[in-house]
Each structure stands twice: as C-alpha cells, then as structure tokens.
Amino acid sequence: MTGDDRPYRLDDQVGYILRLASQRHASLFLARFGSDLTPTQFAAMARLGEIGQCSQNELGRQTAMDVATIKGVVDRLRAKGLVSQMSDPADKRRSLLSLSPRGAAMLADLHAKGNTVTEDTLDPLDVAEREVFLSLLRKLG
Amino acid sequence: MTGDDRPYRLDDQVGYILRLASQRHASLFLARFGSDLTPTQFAAMARLGEIGQCSQNELGRQTAMDVATIKGVVDRLRAKGLVSQMSDPADKRRSLLSLSPRGAAMLADLHAKGNTVTEDTLDPLDVAEREVFLSLLRKLG
DNA sequence: GCCTCATTATTCGTATACAAATGAATATTG
DNA sequence: CAATATTCATTTGTATACGAATAATGAGGC
C-alpha cells in the first residue's frame, strides 16, 4: 500500500498559483504603466528613491535582483534618462547610482500608480482578506 | 492638501512581495529537482499527464503559457525525450503532444517531488494558515 | 609589504515570458 | 461556394532571472 489514491493536481501546487497571480499582477501593471516602465524597473527606481545613492550591486540586493539582472535593469533605466551613474572616488570598483532629476520628478506619480496597481491586484479580496493575505504572503518571501 | 504624507514603501507592494515568494519557491524547487526540470517544464508535464494528448497551444492555455513560451518548453521536453509529438491527421495545423513512455514513467516521482516543494514553500505557515493563504491566493490567480 | 580573501561589475549561457507579425490550414457566414 | 474570420505553430524582439566565470580592486592578517 504505497500508492496514493488522491489525484495529483497542478492547480493545487503553490508554485503554479503563485505564477498565475504574478501574471495577473503583471497584466494589471502593464495596463497602468504602459510600456514606460516594467515592474522590475519600477522596483529599482522606487528603491533608489528610498535609500538614495548606492552601488549597483547594493541596489540589486535591496530589490532582490541578481547582479546580472540588476545590470540590465540599470542599463535600461539609464538609457531612459531616469537613473544617473558616477564613479565612486573612494572605491574604483564601484559606480554610484542615483535618480536623475527627471527620475526623481517622476517618483510621486510612480508612487500613485504603484499603489493603484496594488489595489487593482488585491481587488478580488475584501479589506480584511487583504490584511491576512499580505501578512501570510510576507512570511513566504 | 493633495499630498500624501505616508512614506511609500516598495516592501508593501503586492507585486514585489509576490516576486519574493516566487523566488523562494523557485529556489526550493531547484533544491528538489536539480537541473533536471524547471518549474515550467514540470507544470507542462504534470498537465499533460492530467489531460492526456493535446495540441501545443492547448497545453499552453492549460498551463497559462504564451504560444511562444510553450513552444520553447515543449522543444526542451522533447529534446529530453519526455514528451512525444505526432501530427494530427484530422488537422494539418496541429501537432499532438503526449508524454513519452519515459515521461509517463516519471510522473509518480514528479508528483511526489512536486508535493514536497509545495510543502517546503508553505513551511513558514501552520496548517490553518496554509488553507487560508491558498484560498486567497487562488482568488488572485 | 605580501598573500589571501572578499567585493564589484561584467559577460556568457540558458530559460521563462509576452507582444506582434507571419503563413498555413480550418471554420464560419452570407 | 466564396469571402471572411479564426486557429495553429513559428519567428522576432525585448525584458527579466539566475548560475558560473572573470578581471580589477579593496580589505585583513601576518
């Protein structure tokens, strides 16, 4: 009797449902932000606004991005003129990143849109459920 | 008084926390499956085991993958000899996919490992919390 | 100072992920 | 049945995402 009679269902796997929720969020994000900024680029800018000037790898750590991933993200943000780079005089390895004036000027609008996307995403839940969900989700982060 | 005094926090955005949880899940998945199979490849195989023979686009829809994404996934599963393809005699556009004998033989083991990854991922939650979390997460999928 | 180790940024390779466009085949509709 | 619309699979381009490797630089121990 080593068999398991319960049918296996992909729909019950947390990884799969997480992917579905992430996809829906990405779709809602795109609807609000258009192709101006991706969720990842948004995260990098928001964090840079929070912590101020820092190195590229540090920004990657603060946004849970691999060194290879954050490089591409920063490259694209610099190409858009939203992030500025200067070399660190105290450490020749580092380049110090900061929001450009244009990037900083966009922050308030980004915050408003970001909050709207979070509300859109949580819309299927009532207020009490949102609290519970975010609390539990945070434990899995 | 149009300003918002509350500080904006990336850590409170559901999209960001979803990404963190997905990252942790991917890491746990990798620990169990090694580089044999990715979560996406696993999902495609599990679903193909559930619904049986179907077209490539149909498998994509059943696993929430874009036509371009499912193509790459199926290509790699075929290269590993886990999925077989034949042309549909009734519709020249379609190619019918099915698990290969080797792929089908792996299913039981995949199910066991898949369940373990789900348990690993939900480990920070107690049994009652898991029920609640999955129920709420499903509403966002 | 010198050796070792850690950190920074970059690069390469692989794998999702999706929008958009294409050609072939099928379905629908007037 | 002929014009239109839809579906299937493929391809291209862009953007994460991460493991692994590398060169340059910095830090610590002796």
- Rounded to a whole number of angstroms, the distance from the CA of B90 to the nearest CA of chain A is 29
Identify the closest residue of chain A to B15 by CA–CA distance: A25
Percentage above 70 pLDDT, chain B: 96
Q: What is the DSSP string of A50-106?
A: HH-SEEHHHHHHHTT--HHHHHHHHHHHHHTTSEEEEE-TT-TT-EEEEE-HHHHHH
Q: Is A27 on the interface with B (CB under 8 A)?
A: no
Domain of A112 in residue numbering reads as 34-140
Whether residue A19 lies inside any domain: the answer is no
pLDDT at B4 over 80: no
CATH of the domain at B84: 1.10.10.10
Whether residue A27 lies inside any domain: the answer is no
- Grade residue B7 by pLDDT with cuts at 50, 70 and 90: confident
pLDDT by residue (tens digit) across A83-107?
Answer: 999 999 999 999 999 999 999 999 9
pLDDT by residue (tens digit) across B97-117?
Answer: 999 999 999 999 999 999 999
pLDDT at B3 over 60: no
pLDDT by residue (tens digit) across B37-84?
Answer: 999 999 999 999 999 999 999 999 999 999 999 999 999 999 999 999
Q: Total structural domains in chain B? A: 1
User: For chain A, which residues score pLDDT lower than 50?
Assistant: none
Q: Tell me, rounded to whole angstroms, the distance of Cα B127 from its chain centroid.
A: 23
Whether residue B43 lies inside any domain: the answer is yes
Which bases of strand C have any atom within 7 Å of the beta carbon of a protein residue?
7-13, 15-21, 23-27
Partner-chain contact B10 A137, CB within 8 Å: no
In B, residues 80-139, which contact A (CB 8 Å cutoff)? Answer: 107, 111, 114-115, 117-118, 121-122, 124-125, 129, 132-134, 136-139
